Amino acid sequence: MTTLILVGIGAALMYFFDPDSGRRRRERLRDQCTSATRKLQGSAHTPAPDLSNRRPGVIPERRPGASDDQPSAKF
């Protein structure tokens, strides 16, 4: 198992440090990682506005004077 892992690491190093195409491959990998990072950062901020817009429809507002046994008329 260790030999297989070392062979895989060696092949990856040869692939990325190839004198002819290695630089282009490293730049492409860097661009893909940067793009993925930006997408993850952007998606982390998206749910907050979405949830704040859904809240009024999910949680019915209480009317003044309404008791607990009467359903709200907003349904």
Place of tokens 């630089």: 23
Give the pLDDT confidence score for residue 9 in this predicted structure.
96
Contact 16, 29 (CB under 8 A): yes
- Within the chain, strands assigned E span none
Contact 75, 59 (CB under 8 A): no
Give the pLDDT confidence score for residue 40 in this predicted structure.
86
In this predicted model, what pLDDT tens digit does every residue of 8-45 receive, in sequence order? 999 999 998 998 999 999 999 999 999 999 888 877 66
